[in-house]
Amino acid sequence: MKQRKLEQATKGVFALSTVVTGSLAVLIFFFLFYFSMPLITSGHLGEFFSSRWDPDAHAFGIYPMIMGTVYIAMLATLLAAPLGISLAIFMEVIAPPLLSRFLRTLVEFMAGIPTVVYGFAALFLLVPLVRNIFEQGSGLCILTALLVLALLIIPTVTMISQDRLKNVPETYILAAKSLGASDVETLFYLYLPHTWKGILSAVVLGAGRAVGDTMIALMVAGNAVQIPSSLIDSARTLTSHIALVTAADYESKSFKAIFICGLILFIFSAWNILFLRILGRLKR
């Protein structure tokens, strides 16, 4: 009898913790929504999506930040995906075991490099380089940010892709080899058809990291509020826009616009996870 009560009590503790942790995401959404509510119901929501941000002139458009995020994150993903996937394939399919082990350790170490350290190193190494090569601008631009950001998300892409490639059954690989397939043939006819969904989800997760990162864009993209038109244009992302908030007045419109940025980022994350779920359910 006493034992039974104890069982119930412990289960209650587990359940209670789960309720607390499980509701954190909802709580964050609620806060963001609550603080941007006045803007949404004011009927002037449209003005926050205009392309002009100038608090002195009462213009609070965050469209440039949305485009900044889209350009930087998309280009970084387009660069990181082929490189990261190739590295995973290299380690799993053609590299000798010792080299493969070394590279895995390297990638795991890369995952631990703080983003602020990436930003710091890039600021004093890559930024002057870009400035000298293009001979215009300050070097603080989309190109610099996307190069560093690609490096940041490569571990995500590589580690998940490699784990999926590892899941290809050994017997299949041996069967392919015994039929005389070369490494590259095994890759195209066995590994890739078997793992494309996993590799795609690795890329989607990588893109999520690229959109969500703050420090790299904040430190090396220049933070100018403008819709970028070339690779060496300066740009501001939604994340750096939130980081740059210095509003002393928490009731001001420029502070409230921050919550729209937060809400967009949150909804993007939710959409991303949903997409991964649907992808996971698809039949090959």
Footprint on residues 29-88 left by other proteins (CB under 8 A)? 31-32, 35, 82-84, 86-87
**Interface segment toward other proteins; rule CB under 8 A; list 11-19, 42-50, 131-139, 228-236:** 11-19
Q: Output DSSP code: residue 187.
A: I
Cα 59 to Cα 36: distance, rounded to the nearest angstrom: 17
Site for other proteins in 108-127 (CB under 8 A): 108-121, 123-125
**Interface segment toward other proteins; rule CB under 8 A; list 42-50, 59-67, 105-113, 130-138:** 105-113
Whether the CB-CB separation of 53 and 258 falls below 8 Å is answered with no
Least distance (Å) from other proteins to the CB of residue 229? Answer: 26
Least distance (Å) from other proteins to the CB of residue 116? Answer: 5
CB-based burial of residue 12 (10 Å sphere; 0-12 exposed, 13-18 middle, 19+ buried)?
A: exposed
Least distance (Å) from other proteins to the CB of residue 128? Answer: 12
Q: Which two tokens stand for residue 258?
A: 């921050």
Whether the CB-CB separation of 262 and 32 falls below 8 Å is answered with yes
Q: Is residue 273 at the binding interface for other proteins, with CB under 8 A as the rule?
A: yes
Whether the CB-CB separation of 200 and 106 falls below 8 Å is answered with no
Q: Is residue 279 at the binding interface for other proteins, with CB under 8 A as the rule?
A: no
State the binding string over 214-233 for other proteins (x if CB under 8 A, else -): xx--xx--------------
Least distance (Å) from other proteins to the CB of residue 169? Answer: 16
Q: What residue type is assigned to position 164 of the chain?
A: R
Judged by CB, which is closer to other proteins: 54, or 185? Answer: 185
At residue 96, the 3 state secondary structure works out as coil
At residue 170, the 3 state secondary structure works out as helix
Judged by CB under 8 A, the residue of 49, 58, 172, 189 near other proteins is 189
Cα 243 to Cα 261: distance, rounded to the nearest angstrom: 11
Judged by CB, which is closer to other proteins: 17, or 50? Answer: 17
At residue 237, the 3 state secondary structure works out as coil
Site for other proteins in 147-176 (CB under 8 A): 151, 154
Q: Is residue 211 at the binding interface for other proteins, with CB under 8 A as the rule?
A: yes
